[in-house]
Chains A and B, each alone.
Chain A
Amino acid sequence: MLSFFSALTHNPFLQMAIFSGLLASVTSGVIGSYVVIKRISFLAGSIAHSVLSGMGICLFLQFSLNMPSIKPLYGAFVSAIGSALLIGWIHRRFSQREDSVIATIWSSGMAIGVIFISLAPASQVNLLDFLFGNILWVSKADLFWLMIVDILILSMVSIFYTRFLAICFDETQCYLRKIPTTFTYLLLLSLIALSIVLLIKVMGIILLIALLTIPPTIASLFTHRLSKMMLSATLIAMGMYICGLFIAYETNFPPGATIALVAGIAYGLALCFRKKIAVRK
């Protein structure tokens, strides 16, 4: 048990994994709270999976056409923002068919990514790393960019806090107050897309939705103010991440999957705990 904590003091890969997880927890707690209260987890999942298309295309360009400056993370940003704006536009225009279109973007995005990754030289690419994360991926440069994006997201949320709250609670009221609802909604989706890209490195595409939605959902059981929900969700996400990483290190399980499992168990426990409090009252 102590091997994890002693490794923390001298293992640079583990240290960077911890730092990246803590930085990602900040945005997952803050932005994930909006995902939960606006009830767009399915939409967020679609953005997450369609990110593979951008990453796949960049990998193909990087290795097959010898363009090493094109990193998969750039493709991830572009495809995340692009799919967020497309899904947002479809949501505003065709709300009756929204679910089907989101599912189409979800599967098509992944399919494009898998195809382009298959065209890249096999020795260079491990698809599983994209899908489930790889803590060895995180470099010092990645930590720097994670911090920058964290600051950007927190700044935007500070400026647009009330407008995001208003649009999540009642869009009709926003329209009557002449708050630009489409712009505000697309901005929120773009911030969600950025958060998703932050989480890819630590959790992978398939499992990042766990860290984006479960901590805020747990926080929502115990607070009725959005600001407190965000703070609680951030702390819960940090706790889940460290706990999951600890278990993965000691058991040699995949870290992303272990963190997701810890999140699921924590949610179950939180529901039981909340029920006990309600019964006592």
Chain B
Amino acid sequence: MSEICLENVSFSYGKAPILQKVSFSIEKGSFNAIIGPNGGGKTTLLKLLLGLIFPDSGTVLLQNTSPKNICQKIGYVPQVAITDPFFPITLKQVVLLGQAEKAGLFSRYPKDILEKARDLIDSLGLTEHQNNPFGALSGGLKQRTLIARALISNPEFLFLDEPTASIDQENQEKIFSLIESFKGKKTILMVTHDLEEIFKNVDKVFSCQKTVTPYSPKDVCKHFAFGLYHTPLSKND
């Protein structure tokens, strides 16, 4: 049984079709990338997998059930750019929000959650900045903080939306290396435009352009790097 399974999924915003008859499956513990042009439906696909929106037709299943039923098993890392730079919150508080439902009166967290947060902050090299305002951190630190937030609940799925967007090369490598360390332990789905990392690390690539076409990393040719995406292959190819 596949860990993630989409069957004939279609979705439109009003009359504009975004995804049409999308079918694919993803195995447990695999590391997968989603690539595609702007407007191709990558973010919509991610929202369907998170259970934030529902398909007009077809089924989206995670562990053979609707994503809404197991959303607590999903660790989600959004793009850093969508966070408010002036929001009054520290790095440590952001990480702890990954288990916000367990906070009690006056924002007190259980001891085991506080220990988990401390361990994650230490292992991701964030200790020095844990009491700094999240908005004042560099892009790389913010991204690692959001990854820590996603990991604190020990999720089985890890969904990342362009985790290296607007981040310098050195931090990009650190982040990809970190994500790759979860290969085999979690089912990873990452929206990215970084083809070099795809060649190195992922098991499968899904090209999203209204339909979704699976490729193995070696089949992702250099045309993709120029933003030129092949027309979707037919099922017989």
Contact = CB atoms under 8 A, between A and B. Distances in A.
Nearest to A166: B100
Looking at B78, B86, B132, B149, the one whose CB has the most chain A CB atoms below 10 A away is B86
Given A37-B88, A161-B107, A170 B97 contact: yes
Interface of A: 37, 39, 158-159, 161-163, 165-166, 168-170, 172-179, 220, 223-226, 228-229
Interface in B72-114: 72, 74, 76, 78, 83-84, 86-90, 93-94, 97-101, 103, 105-107
B94 A169 contact: yes
A169 B106 contact: no
15 contacts: A37-B84, A165-B93, A165-B107, A166-B100, A168-B87, A169-B94, A172-B50, A173-B98, A175-B50, A175-B71, A176-B74, A176-B76, A178-B101, A225-B90, A229-B88
A184 B200 CA distance: 43
A160 to B, nearest CB: 10
B52 interface: yes
Interface in B8-48: none
A72 to B, nearest CB: 36
B155 to A, nearest CB: 9
B149 A173 contact: yes
B46 to A, nearest CB: 10
A163 B87 CA distance: 15
A172 B76 contact: yes
B55 interface: no
Contact of A169 (B50, B87, B99, B132): B87
Nearest to B100: A166
Interface of B: 50-52, 71-72, 74, 76, 78, 83-84, 86-90, 93-94, 97-101, 103, 105-107, 132-133, 135-136, 149, 153
A225 to B, nearest CB: 6
A228 to B, nearest CB: 8
Q: 10 closest Cβ contacts across the A-B interface?
A: A224-B133, A162-B103, A166-B100, A177-B101, A162-B107, A226-B88, A176-B71, A161-B107, A229-B88, A224-B88
Given A177-B101, A178-B101, A225 B88 contact: yes
Given A166-B100, A178-B71, A224-B88, 14 more contacts: A37-B88, A39-B84, A158-B106, A163-B100, A165-B89, A170-B97, A172-B78, A176-B50, A176-B72, A176-B76, A178-B101, A224-B89, A224-B133, A225-B88
Contacts of B136: 224
A233 to B, nearest CB: 11
A226 B98 contact: no
A38 B195 CA distance: 37
B72 A178 contact: yes
Contacts of A229: 88
Contacts of A163: 100, 103
A165 B133 CA distance: 14
Nearest to A157: B106
A174 B76 CA distance: 11
Nearest to A220: B88
B135 A224 contact: yes
